[in-house]
Structures are given as C-alpha cells and as structure tokens.
A and B are shown apart, each in its own frame.
Chain A
Amino acid sequence: MTTPDLTTPSSIAPSITPRSSTGRSLGSTIVVFTRQTGAGLRVLLALTVLLGIVYPLAVTGIGQVVFPWQANGSLLAADGSHVNSVANGGQGVAIGSALVGQSFAGPTWFHPRPSGAGKGYDTLASAGSNLGPNNPDLLTTVQNRRVQVAAEDGVDPRSVPADAVTASGSGLDPEISPAYAREQVARIAAVRGLSADKVSALVESSIQGRTLGILGEPRVKVLALNLALAKMTV
C-alpha cells in the first residue's frame, strides 16, 4: 500500500539521511495518491447526494409541514395576517416579511434606520456601510443625519438615539429602538390627525423586551407598527 520512504518523516522533516531511490519512491507515491484520489471522488459524490440533496430537501419538507409560515419568509398581508406564499392569491397579497425591514419615507410613517443595502432596504444587496469608527465621511454622515432627524421629528438633536443615525449590519434591520419609535410619535400624530396618546399607546404595546430578560435588546418592529398605524387611520 505504501513505500518505505513515506513511513518516515524524512520527506517532510529535514534529515541527514539521503533518500535512496527517489525515482521509484516518486512513482509509487503518484500511484498511491491517484488511488486515494479516486476513492475520494467516489466518497465525495456519495456524500454530495446525502448532504447536498437528501439533507436539504428533507429539512425543507419538515419545515414546510411544521413551520410553513416561517419557512417561507414570515410574510404579512396588508391586514396583518400571515401569508405562506408570495403567490397565494387566496390568502391575500404579501406586502412584506415581518423579519425584513422596508423603506418608509415621508412624515406619515414610522421611519426605519438608515440602510446600506443598495438604495435602501434592497434585499438583493444586503450590506452594511463597512465604514470604520473614525472614518471622516461616516462622521459627517452621522452628524448630518442627527440634524435632519431632529428637524423632522421636532426634537433636540442631542436626544436623537444612535440607531436613528447609524446603518445596520444587514441594511435590512426590521427594527428600531423604543426610543426612536417614541421620538416619532408626535410627528405622526400631527400629520395623520390622530391623538398622540393613541399613537403612543400603539408604540408601547409594540415594544418587544429582551428575550428571557437578558438576550438582545428591546426593540420595535417597524412594519408591524406601520401596519397597525394604517389600520388605525382607516
């Protein structure tokens, strides 16, 4: 199966012992390596069928039966109901995923965070800015956003929370901090002609705390909030 030359580490480690018959050793090494490579190809193809076809399809099958809503993207219809398929006309038309942020511009909506995904919340281009902690361009951007957000929401620039002026890692962050949601209440109530108390109550009831009290951060899902807001107005 192998050659004497390969059983000692002289082929790797420096050694004062000269190699005796290099030609024969090399030839039989190539034969052995070719044989192992052939076995490797057979094993690879078999395991590709198991791990690359059977496994993902089995998990897909289980997922589609046990968690059909989640497995298909946690989609929501305009009335807030769950939709299991983008193309399912019977259930209502999906307007987005509960887990993925989308763009909301204009004063009538709760705004999400700034996004580095394409032109904003482009799911085909998930990305952060990748700008460093001392990058001068990012510093200017953050300072400008602070002034702009404060002006929109009619608050003191110093009170604007960090998530309102920074882009997330994915560019698809579905959530904002409770502080940023609360900051937008007065603007939205005024523009939509709603009572600030009602909008504020909506925000407070939408806040998700830390999981188990310690995991992650408190947050508010922007799409769910805006869906509820749209219903309230109608």
Chain B
Amino acid sequence: MSATSIAVAQILVLVIALVAVHIPLGGYMARVFTSTRHLRVERAGYRVLRVDPDADQRWSMYLMSVLGFSLVSVLFLYGLERLQAYLPLSLGISGMDPAGAWNTAVSFVTNTNWQWYSGETAAGHLLQMAGFAVQNFLSAAVGIAVVVALIRGLARSGADGRVGNFWSDLVRTVVRILLPISVVAAVVLIGMGVIQNLSAHTEIATLAGGSQHVLGGPVASQEAIKELGTNGGGFFNANSAHPFENPTPLSNLLEIFLLLAIPFSLPRTFGIMVGDRRQGWAIVGVMGTLWAGAVGLLTWAELAGRGLVPAAAGAAMEGKETRFGAAASALFAASTTSTSTGAVNSMHDSLTAAGGGVTIFNMQLGEISPGGTGSGLYGMLVLVIVAVFIAGLMVGRTPEYLGKKIGRQEITLVALYVLATPAIVLMGTAISIATPAGQAGILNSGAHGLSEVLYAFTSAANNNGSAFAGLTVATPFYNVLLGLAMLFGRFVPIALVLALAGRFASQKTVPASAGTLPTHRPLFAGLLLAVVLVVVGLTYIPVLALGPIAEALQ
C-alpha cells in the first residue's frame, strides 16, 4: 500500500469508531440530562453540600452559578499553584509567580490548557492531580452544561426563561459521563505504557554510561480526561508527543478517538432532546465535513512536505515522532485543533506552512468542527441561527429555528457572539506585534513569526491551548494578556449563549408550517457550511494572508 492509502485507512478506522459510538453515547447523554432521578450518591452529595438540584433556574441564575463556580475554581487553582511548595508530593518544586499562576489558573478553568510552563519541572504531583486534572473534568462539564441549557431553551415552550439546574447538570456530567469513561480509558492507557505512579523523578545510569531521570507521576489518570474533556494540557512539556503520555500508534488512535467522542456525539443528544434526530444529523454532517476537510488538507500538506527544511531533510519529520510519522501526526493535529483540545503529538511550529495554516484556520472557525465538549455544539448552534437568519432574509420570512422566532434581540446576541472571539484574537495579536514586549517572544523571523503570535491569541481566545511553541510566552506580558484572552474568550460567549437560551425558553414554540425552512436537509447543511466559512473567512483572511499564506507561497 502507498503512504497515502495507509493514511486513509488509519483515518477510516477512526471514523468507524466514532460512528459506532455516536448513537449509544449520544443517546446515553440525552438520558442523563432528561432523567428526573438522582443517583443515590448524587442525592447524598446535594444534601451535604446544601445545593438544590431540582430548582429550575432562569438563564440569569444559571449564568451566575456558572460564573460563581468558575470564580472559585480560578481562585482555588491560583492558590494551589502559588502554595505548591508547601503541599505534599510537590517534588521540591516552588510556587508559580503571580502572572504565571494567573495565566495557568484561567487556562485550566476555561478548558484552554494553554501552558507557559513545563510540567516536569514546574508542577508537582498534587498540583497536577488536585488542581489541573480536576479542572480538566470541571471545565469540560461546564461546557456541556451550558450547551444542555441552550438545548433545553430550544426544546421548551413558554418556560419563562428557565433552562434547568446548573449544579445537577455539572454533577451528572462528571459522575455519569466523564468519570466512568476516564477510569476505563486510563487503565487501558496504562496497559499501553502510560505511567501511573506517585514516584519522584529519579536519576539512573544509562546503558552508554550517561545519566537520565526516570519520570514519575499520575499521568494516565490525567491523560484520559485531558483528551476526553478536550482540555489538552500535557502532564509533560512535550504533551502527547511524550512517550509516557502517548507511547504507541494505538494509544495515539485512542487519544484522538477520546477527544472527538463527546463533541461528535452531542449532536445526537441535541437531536433527541429537541425531539427531531434529523436536526442532529444535519449538524454532525457539517461538523464532520469540516473535520474531514481539515484532516485531508493537513495530511496532504505533511505527506507532500513542502518547504525548505522538509525538502532538505527528505520529509517533514522535524517535530514529529518516528512511531507516528507524518500521517498520524497530521490526523492528531487536525483533530486537536478542530476540537478545543490543544494537545499535540507533534510540534505545530514545525509543521509545513500549509499544515500550520490549517491548524490556525481550524481554531478560527470558532472550535465547531466538532469543537470542544459542549462549546463546540453551542458555537455551531449560534452559526445555525446566523444561517437561518440569512435564509429568512433571502426569502423574506421571519426566520425561525425549531419553532423559535429569531427576532431582533436574538440576532443581537448572536452577532455579539460571532464578533467577540475574533475581536479578542485580532486585538491581542495587534498589541503584541506593536509592542517590544510582544515582539521579544518571537522565535522564527518573517511571516512565520507573525503566525506564532496569531496562533497564540487564536488558541487562547478559542480556548484551544495548543501553540506554535517557539513563541516565548513565559513572560508577564504574555501571561497576563493571554490570560485575559482566555477569560473573555470563554465567558463572554457563555453569557451570550445562556441569554439566548433564556430568550428561546420564554418563547412559545410555533408549529411548523408549509413555509417553514427545513433545517435538517442537505440544502440547509450546505448553507450552514457556507456561512461558517464565509463568516470566518471574511474575518481572518487579511491576517492569514500576512502569516501562513504568505509563507506557504514563498
């Protein structure tokens, strides 16, 4: 078989696994969020914690629960990072500086997992376990909770803005979805060679008479939720390129599967909860098309290996592991940037110019192909509303989606959502390019240097977390600015989505008529695809032309 057909076969195995899990996982998640029964352990927890899991919250109350919970999460994690020298299992590592601790606390609470530090020397085991891994679960659960609230808003009729209960959604996501899958995945990963112990890094003598540290740590338990929750923060600096995080081609496939499983299954959950599974198919179709396009382009770019260095080396192997090669690295890179994961199994800074451009464009789509856990689907539903609105303008009818009218206030919220993230990306990039503190971090010169900065702010504002890691970001300038980008890039969209959910929940559902635009047919899916590409294209083409496109055409 040729290299191309092997690459295609590898992609097909993944697609088959994702198709197989779509229906059972999507259906299971729908049951989790529609069931009125609490598990015994959940009920006991609510009683001890004095939380009412049955209060049907208005969107504003739901939002305050999200923000209050996230606020204490940031403060708690900040405290752990600053004080880690005094904690057990710290491995003698001192606390983080204020700017770095701020950046990392925001990074993990916003599901970004941007990392300015190296895990092996900057984080002890307890900080990894009780700080980072916990937020890997919770930030993913918050994303899912928010999209479930939006789905309820669309599904309910005249419900006075009530969209469910955040605490119940949060706890159920953790206890019934993320934790069981993580336990199984973690044990399987250990079997493949991912380490799981509490040992310190220990020095040994190597075969050739040198010395090396054998690393320790509870890696597998964190690796599982790092992928499943589309978080992406590596236990070690090299992330999923590290042999102890991703030791074999099979573990590589498992990790890619885990990071795509929930985002690709949530459209099924959505279809069931709004009572029309075809609506979920249309969305998963558009998500899948975008993902497949990115995988195809990136695989082609890395196998073709254009560029001065790949040509001189004979292949685009700089920054790639032997066990993965170009094809499995491209598949990982496309999937991690299509979701908001940001884990990497190759160094994106060393991808070919076209390949690196695809990763940036993927994130600029707004993480909707299929996007992060929850955030991918709510991002896509916002663009669905844009598409419905445009279609309504074209035929001169009041636009509506699933029986909900898209009026002035709804489209205002949607417009703000669509503008928020690009504004953060472009302003952050501009500030960095225009200031000496920003310019100081750039490693590669010319167009590639601009790409490094653009990648950083695109990654932060879209809560991805991967990097063109040549950019030196361990400075107060980047730590503070990127921290702000992550914070606003997460919570401004969440506030807008919950407001939208409340508007929809208040509306009475209008029965479909002959004039209703069907939103489950290929025609609408095509329109949605075009809207996604045009909205993003018009926003980002100028800056992409100066960065990756200029470099690719050199």
Contacts and interface: CB of A to CB of B under 8 A. Distances in A.
B179 A169 contact: no
Interface string B488-520: 000000011001001100000000000000000
B182 A36 contact: no
Contacts of B194: 70
A51 interface: yes
Interface string A47-62: 1101111011011101
Contacts of B198: 60
Interface in B373-431: 409, 412-413
Contact of B350 (A59, A128, A136): A128
A129 to B, nearest CB: 7
Contacts, number: 412
B227 interface: no
B9 A39 contact: no
Contacts of A101: 243
Contacts of B161: 7-8
B73 A44 contact: yes
B312 A123 contact: no
A196 interface: no
B79 to A, nearest CB: 12
A215 B247 CA distance: 13
Interface string A82-104: 00001100000111111111111
A131 B313 contact: no
B94 interface: no
Interface stretch (B27-35, B272-280, B291-299, B302-310): B302-310
Interface stretch (A185-193, A198-206, A219-227): A219-227
Nearest to B301: A133
Given A67-B191, A70-B194, A126-B236, A172 B243 contact: yes
A73 B214 contact: yes
Given A33-B67, A71-B195, A216 B49 contact: no
Classify chain B's interface size.
35 or more
B536 interface: no
Nearest to A168: B321
B208 A36 contact: no
B474 interface: no
Interface string A129-148: 11111111011001100100
A55 B237 contact: no
B123 interface: no
Given A44-B72, A67-B191, 19 more contacts: A13-B412, A39-B65, A40-B68, A44-B69, A60-B197, A66-B191, A70-B191, A73-B197, A86-B202, A129-B319, A130-B349, A133-B307, A138-B318, A166-B318, A168-B317, A170-B242, A216-B325, A217-B322, A217-B325
